[in-house]
Amino acid sequence: MEFNNILTEKEEHIAVITINRPSKLNALNRETISELHTAFKEFDQDTDIRAIIITGSGSKAFVAGADISEFAHFSKEEGALLAAKGQEVLFDFIEQLSTPVIAAINGFALGGGLELAMACHFRIATDNARMGLPEVTLGVIPGYGGTQRLPQLVGKGRAMEMIMTGDMIGIEQAHLWGLVNHMVAQEELLPLCKKIAGRIAKNSPKAIATAIGVVNAGFNREGYKAEIDGFGASFGTADFKEGTTAFLEKRKPEFKGE
């Protein structure tokens, strides 16, 4: 498989997908989301692959967020479509994949990056990782499942605080809260992910696929539709226009609650 924004490799029964946009801190744009969908779909259909690891290139960021320049001018309808399409093509797609997906978080996982990590079946992170959902600083809310998956992982109160402040948390806090399963030094990240993936690969693929489906069945999907609607509605506000303009102009926003 050849792509512009991601790298793929296979090692025995394990596939590794690397988001390769280091100059953009591996930010997600529409092309990258599409390429990730294709890679995940092809690896899931490959009966020789028993586990998939996703990571970011370099040591600074897993994914530092979405590419804001792509949607700063969107209308409410376009914003809602952006969230709905993204959830369908990538985030829900990964969560419901029959092949286990491990997020190897190497550095910043912010906004869409944290949402991508949370869509994976579990997460392992480096000791320099930082995580957060800063969307409210742009006058918008998380739109790729963040309002749903974060409370599932860390609890409602902690999720509310993270979403409403937009603050980042460090790896120790993320580990304590259950947002990540393990924290390791940078050089140990992929080896540990591959070690766990290797243990998974020895088990029944059919049983694991069934387990993924059954665990996912325990969560109400209606909240994701509400997120899409709320995300789209944000695009019609003056706060969204101010937040995204301020970000692109590299200044602090002045929100008026409109």
User: Is 258 one of the annotated active-site residues of the chain?
Assistant: no
Helices (H), the chain: 30-45, 76-86, 92-95, 112-119, 146-154, 156-165, 171-177, 189-201, 205-217, 222-234, 238-248
Point out the catalytic residue in the list 35, 95, 135, 227.
135
Each domain of the chain, given as residue ranges in start order, spans: 6-190
CATH, domain 6-190, list 3.90.226.10, 1.10.540.10, 3.30.413.10, 3.90.190.20: 3.90.226.10
Residue 113, pLDDT score: 98
User: Is 11 one of the annotated active-site residues of the chain?
Assistant: no
Residue 210, pLDDT score: 97
The DSSP result for 108-172, as a single string, is EEETHHHHHHHHSSEEEEETT-EEE--GGGGT----SSHHHHHHHHH-HHHHHHHHHH--EEEHH
* Residue spans of the chain under pLDDT 50: none
Point out the catalytic residue in the list 88, 115, 242, 249.
115
- CB-count burial class (<10 Å; 0-12, 13-18, 19+) for 159: buried
**How far is 29 from 153, CA to CA, in rounded Å?**
26
Residue 162, pLDDT score: 98
Residue 2, pLDDT score: 85
User: What pTM value is reported for the model?
Assistant: 0.95
Residue 125, pLDDT score: 98
